[in-house]
Amino acid sequence: MLPPGLPYPPSGQFKGIRAHLLSRDLVELHASSNHLVVTWSDWDNRDFVRNWVYHLHKAGCSALLVGATDTQLLEWLFEAGIPAFLIEQKSPARVSLLRAFSELGTNVILSDVDAVWLRDPIPFMQMEWESAIPSDGRSGERAAFNDLFHRELVQLTRRNDNLASVFRGTLLGGILSTSAFCSGQAYRAGLQQRIHVRPFVVHTPHPGPGEAAEKFVLRELGLWRDLPEHWTHPAGFLTYDNKLPATLWESAPRGALGELAAPLHAESMVVNHQLIQYRNAFIAARVLGGHSVVQPPVWLRGDLAARPKGGLAGTVASAPSAHIPVDAIIDLEA
């Protein structure tokens, strides 16, 4: 289920663990103008690896590598023809990979495996940063990186390109645009369409439990590559429309649910009405012989992840009436 044309492996036989460590030869084989897009994973998340590779290749980027944190995944990657290496370091993967590729002198774009690339990021990263860093908002990152980034951060008054002096003055740093490097929420809200930007990537780090919920979110966004068997079911499929009475919809509040003054009771009525339809659909599916229920979109008037006054995180845009992931109201792991 992976696209053809990946140059790895050079031979048809797995050569053992020692032959598949990160090396300069491996980097030079797969890099494009000394740039690589790199992720890492373990065996349990191989479905995310498949989705990550598929979308990058679909976007026209073959300069990629996957770091395997266990030998089972490494062998699977080899058999699938995915450029891979074994991560032996005991330190956190993100830190050890940054150091390893820096020592090799390679420009690396580190990506979580649950990110979905829609455009080749390498041409963007090869641009002059003075013109490449947009200034339409802020986006989050790991707490440790945030701490380092803001430590002794100095805004350079003679620059007008949204760059700042970071890491004790050793680097210039900037914030990537939330519209071009989307969170799942910004992408679902259509921020990129509202300001006419083609996003490079969508990342949906999910606060809920389990990977099933995250797969469901990506599937709802049309960003998950399922195997053919997902689209078959011995009893067939049951679909239904998620209908909300106009009076119920109009009584619900607008804006962010996080505001203390928001009338949550009215919003709960909207959710409960949809849950009743969901239960009825499952009962009907069971009576009809065990059909698989296709879940329609779930709606709220206020966005669960919106900031005060309904704003989207990292932007000055407002959050519209929200199409929320189904796991916001249903435990998909139960």
Q: Residue 135: its pLDDT value, please? A: 45
Mean pLDDT computed over 65-75 = 93
Tokens of 14: 């797995």
Helices (H) and strands (E) in the chain, counts: 12, 14
Q: Residue 277: its pLDDT value, please? A: 92
Q: Are residues 198 and 77 in the same domain?
A: no
pLDDT band of residue 321 (cuts 50, 70, 90) is low
Q: Are residues 193 and 320 in the same domain?
A: yes
- Per the prediction, the chain carries an average pLDDT of 76
165 belongs to a structural domain: no
Domain final position from 80, 115, 150 = 115
Mean pLDDT computed over 179-200 = 78
Q: Residue 151: its pLDDT value, please? A: 62
Q: What does DSSP assign to residue 243?
A: -
pLDDT band of residue 134 (cuts 50, 70, 90) is very low
- The count of structural domains within the chain is 2
The most confident of 4-8, 17-21, 166-170, by mean pLDDT: 17-21
- 126: helix, strand or coil: coil
Rounded CA-CA distance 65/67 in Å is 7
299 belongs to a structural domain: yes
Rounded CA-CA distance 1/222 in Å is 17
Determine whether 10 is exposed, middle or buried from the number of CB atoms within 10 Å of its CB (0-12, 13-18, 19+).
exposed
* Residue 185 φ/ψ region, left for φ over 0, alpha for ψ in the -120 to 50 degree band, beta for the rest: alpha
Q: Are residues 188 and 111 in the same domain?
A: no
Q: Is the pLDDT of residue 310 over 60?
A: no
Q: Are residues 208 and 321 in the same domain?
A: yes
Percent of the chain residues topping a pLDDT of 90 = 30
Which has more confidence, 3 or 39?
A: 39
Q: Is the peptide bond before 207 cis (omega within 30 degrees of 0)?
A: no
**Residues constituting the chain:** 334
Q: Are residues 324 and 212 in the same domain?
A: yes
Tokens of 54: 């598929």
Q: Are residues 204 and 317 in the same domain?
A: yes
Q: Are residues 74 and 208 in the same domain?
A: no
Mean pLDDT computed over 20-41 = 93
Q: Is the pLDDT of residue 90 over 50?
A: yes
Q: Are residues 91 and 219 in the same domain?
A: no
Which has more confidence, 318 or 210?
A: 210
Return the sign of the alpha-carbon dihedral for residues 57, 59, 60, 61.
Answer: negative
Residue type, 232: T
124 belongs to a structural domain: no
Which has more confidence, 251 or 202?
A: 202
164 belongs to a structural domain: no
Beta strands in 225-330 (DSSP E): 237-239, 292-294, 298-300, 322-324
192 belongs to a structural domain: yes
Q: How many CA atoms lie within 13 A of 222 on its CB side?
A: 3
Q: Is the pLDDT of residue 46 over 90?
A: yes
Contact 108, 98 (CB under 8 A): yes
Q: Are residues 320 and 197 in the same domain?
A: yes
Domain final position from 73, 100, 115 = 115
| CATH number for the domain harbouring residue 51 | 3.90.550.10
- 57: helix, strand or coil: helix
Q: Are residues 186 and 62 in the same domain?
A: no
* Residue 314 φ/ψ region, left for φ over 0, alpha for ψ in the -120 to 50 degree band, beta for the rest: left
Q: Residue 119: its pLDDT value, please? A: 95
Element (H, E) at 109: strand 107-110
292 belongs to a structural domain: yes
Which has more confidence, 99 or 2?
A: 99
Q: Is the pLDDT of residue 326 over 60?
A: yes
Q: For the ranges 54-63, 156-165, 255-264, which has the lowest average pLDDT?
A: 255-264
Contact 5, 62 (CB under 8 A): yes
Domain final position from 115, 130, 164 = 115
pLDDT band of residue 263 (cuts 50, 70, 90) is low
Domain that holds residue 249: 181-328
Q: Are residues 310 and 196 in the same domain?
A: yes
Q: Is the pLDDT of residue 156 over 70?
A: no
170 belongs to a structural domain: no
Rounded CA-CA distance 285/283 in Å is 5
196 belongs to a structural domain: yes
